[in-house]
Structure 1
């Protein structure tokens, strides 16, 4: 498997069309692109797209693979940019990490903040899951990240941007979708899908998102053992659609919604989870300090409202 295969796959997934991806994004021919996608599917061992007269759609396996493909491409780009920064240290730069999904909400505002202050700065963007971003901060791979307050280290400073509310995610045709609100007791009777408790974290502890869900259910006297666990939100959406199950997720997860999945609010006061900016103690970057001095401006109008 080569990086170009991943780039082609992501381009087709985003365009939802082999023809548009070939002509407008990749500057190649549709037959050549089709061959590259077939080669990738052969390598993965399963179809990633459903071909139709109106274009292509991701299969459940394709939706899960898309999250990982984006992470791999962003990590490869970060590696290249980090090497270039070492070779050419005179170029001012800032490396930023965003949780997958929040790159479509907070990234534009963050980039505008930087460009307004330092129009010639070189910015490197990495999109990963929250626990992976925490590890990248610790190892110096990125300067600042938009992530959760992950456990396991005192070497990362967190500054809360917002507290996100949770909603119930369920199939659009599910009987509970006809209700205006959903109770915890109703969720307890359904097949429950949760974020993996063993996803990569700094200390081996559960990710902050899983801890918040489990703590909320326990505090409300609801005992639910997940029928399925998955380490990315694309996978959660695929399982909701394919199994008819339900999930509790933060508001921003609506950016991942396929047509087959919808949301409903909880009848009770639900949990909240932070979205914070984090950075490593001891990072002396003057650009980082400038960004941190302006970061409060990002919360004046939360980009999360754009996905409501």
Structure 2
């Protein structure tokens, strides 16, 4: 088995199409790609992919193999970076911290304050990505610590709970429900739902649980690739989406945020890191996680809704 077999398989699994994987990512021909995948299946001895009318789908064995294939490539990349690092001259210490897009407005200032107190000479790099992308960066050793969701199918990561956020409805400014103080879930069932499943799978699971608990079926018409893309689709299609409260820090002018009526679903924010990361600064930063939460909750960074009536999110 060669590394290209793993790369080809991962590309096809993620694209869901031999044609798209061959043309967009691998720059090879579809017949050649098909032969490589057949060789891989013959070597393993099980079928990994099923050809469908529209593209391909993973078999049960394929889903299991995909996680291990990704991990294998990550480990190879880490090994290569470590080897290259031995040839580099001594550099200034570096520390990379990642945030969900929009969360840096809440957590960045106090995070930097703590990091500077612990190591003044370190070079700090900020990354803002989706939660799945942050998890991959942690597994690959490219990010030291990240504020993200508790992603599943992660290898070697640990998570520490930081806070819970309520979900809110994002609606077009002139939507019939935008004039309500709180939005009943039964009214949402009659509207077009903009999903963000690809960008936020953990959020999708929370929304699915909420829909089942309230006895509604969401009419999913679109799946946005980013949370900001979800808001744009809300504005252009007249539908709605459900996002964590922090998203109201980045609302576009043509949409509004409204609280949900009744029992409100929440989503957890975690501090994630790779358990194999031996950075002394990471260890000291983790020891001050409770202090970070305390400082942020007492400051002005939380969305205003959290502070009404003197209430803050549970942490």
TM normalised by structure 2 equals 0.66
Distance in 2, Cα, partners of 1:116 & 1:284: 19
Distance in 2, Cα, partners of 1:278 & 1:149: 8
Distance in 2, Cα, partners of 1:112 & 1:148: 23
Question: Any gaps of 5 or more consecutive residues in structure 1?
Answer: 1-81, 200-205
CA RMSD, aligned part only? 2.0
Determine which structure has more spread, i.e. the larger CA radius of gyration: 2
Distance in 2, Cα, partners of 1:306 & 1:271: 17
Query: Which stretch of the first structure deviates more once superposed, 85-94 or 210-219?
Result: 85-94
Distance in 1, Cα, partners of 2:209 & 2:90: 46
In the alignment, what sits opposite 1:143? 144
Deviation readout 1:9-31 (Å, 9 max, x if unpaired): xxxxxxxxxxxxxxxxxxxxxxx
Deviation readout 1:160-198 (Å, 9 max, x if unpaired): 1100111111011112111111101100011111112x4
Residues 102 and 246 of structure 2 are in contact (CA less than 8 Å); yes or no, is this contact kept in structure 1? Answer: yes
In the alignment, what sits opposite 2:157? 156
In the alignment, what sits opposite 1:231? 225
Distance in 1, Cα, partners of 2:303 & 2:121: 28
Deviation readout 1:272-300 (Å, 9 max, x if unpaired): 11111100112111111011111211111
Pair 1:89–1:209, CA change in 2 (3 A): farther
The alpha-carbon deviation at position 117 of structure 1 amounts to 2.2
After superposition, residues 197-208 of structure 1 pair within 5 angstroms as: 198-199=198-199, 207-208=201-202
Q: Does structure 1 residue 288 correspond to structure 2 residue 282?
A: yes
Q: 1:254 aligns with which of 248, 270, 273?
A: 248
Question: Any gaps of 5 or more consecutive residues in structure 2?
Answer: 1-80, 306-315
Deviation readout 1:201-260 (Å, 9 max, x if unpaired): xxxxx7111111111111221111311111211101101111111111100111220111
In the alignment, what sits opposite 2:257? 263
Matched residue of 2:96: which SS?
strand
Distance in 2, Cα, partners of 1:307 & 1:147: 21
